[in-house]
Amino acid sequence: MQLERASLETQGTADSGSVRAWDLPTRLFHWTLVTLIVMAYVSRHWGDAGLVWHKWNGYAILVLVVWRLLWGFVGSSTSRFASFFYGPLTAVRYGLDFVLGRPRHFLGHNPLGGSVVLVMLAMLGVIGALGLFAYDDHDALTGGPLSSRVSEAMVAFATKWHLFMFDLLLWVIGLHILANILYRVWKRENLVQAMITGRKEARPYEDEHDANLASPWLALAASWRPAASSCEERRGGAAAGGDRHTRALPVAVVLLFLRLRSVSKWR
């Protein structure tokens, strides 16, 4: 017991007794995404004629989602998908332990929280992609940058599901906020503060005791390609560029699935 306490103290700072949990790029991603989602909602309902700001929000969210996918493979230990890609039964068991008051602590995402993160990332990607083909349902005059390249039926389909999935995302976000409140009240864990400071209280965690942080320069390198691709497509030059990205998408999805399968924790 004394050896375990000494180990935890050496991993945290001497004065605060905390350990590293989240790197700066992940924290910036999180709070930037929160801001963009709020702005997307506001610009959708109030004072954005032609949905100019709404579309820019969508572009930015898509860039962030692509960056997060890349960071999930090359980022810090707690940000990598390998650290929180659990099977459904593991997530259910963790949820039961939480309800029954059995204390289990994770430095990074816990099995249930990690599942929610993956769901939200997938939803944001789909919502953003549908928005590229959707029309403004207020006046049906303003559309996404690719809406003119598909049939009216496809535009109607994309618009319907773009709106429906965004409303569904708001419910998922609400549950996420509620879970953070329950953690604060029930388990005495301040997850919001950890996502601000990047540190958690030193204690025996199930996944790891201290995060292995990746270089912020690597995060900048990971962000360059998604941002450059987004700028190229927005400038419009690019029928060939759009076709090239469209052809590459199935390959990227297959590679992503195979990679997740190889690193996942199906237990």
Tens of pLDDT along 35-94? 999 999 998 888 667 788 888 999 999 999 999 999 999 899 999 999 999 888 999 999
Name the residue type at position 69: L
Q: Decide: pTM greater than 0.85.
A: no
- The H-assigned helical ranges of 100-148 are 111-131
In which residue are the tokens 């999935």 written?
165
Q: Is the dihedral of CA 247, 248, 251, 256 positive or negative?
A: negative
Is 50 exceeded by the pLDDT of residue 99?
yes
Inform me whether the pLDDT recorded for 235 exceeds 80.
no
pLDDT band at 9 (very low <50, low <70, confident <90, very high): very low
**What dihedral do alpha carbons 77, 82, 87, 90 form, nearest 10°?**
-20
Residue-level pLDDT at 52: 83
| Closest listed residue to residue 220, CA positions, set 3, 75, 95 | 75
Residues 159-173: tens digit of each pLDDT: 999 999 999 999 999
Q: List the domain boundaries for the chain.
A: 17-217
Percentage of residues of the chain with pLDDT beyond 70: 74
Lowest mean pLDDT among 92-101, 129-138, 196-205, 223-232: 223-232
3-class secondary structure, 264: coil
More confident position, 219 or 2: 219
> pLDDT band at 249, cuts 50/70/90?
very low
Distance of alpha carbon 104 from alpha carbon 101, whole angstroms: 9
* 214 confidence band (pLDDT: 50, 70, 90): confident
Q: What H or E segment, with its residue span, contains residue 176?
A: helix 152-182
219, 25 Cβ separation under 8 angstroms = yes
> How many residues in total does the chain contain?
267
Amino acid 98: pLDDT: 86
| Res. 255: pLDDT tops 60 | no
Superfamily the domain 17-217 falls into:
Transmembrane di-heme cytochromes, Chain C (1.20.950.20)
Residue 7 pLDDT: 41
| C-alpha span between 155 and 147 (Å, rounded) | 6
Query: Is there a contact between 142 and 155 (Cβ–Cβ < 8 Å)?
Result: no
Average pLDDT of the chain to the nearest whole number: 79
Q: Which residue reads 């690193």 in tokens? A: 263
Query: Does 243 have pLDDT greater than 50?
Result: no
- 90-105: average pLDDT: 88
Residue 32 has pLDDT above 90, yes or no: yes
Contact status, residue 20 vs residue 194, Cβ threshold 8 Å: no
pLDDT at residue number 223: 63
- The answer to whether the beta carbons of residues 85 and 55 sit under 8 Å apart is no
- Output 94 or 261, whichever has higher pLDDT: 94
For 137-146, b/e burial (b = at least 16 CB within 10 A) is: eeeeebbbbb
The H-or-E segment that residue 200 falls in is: strand 199-201
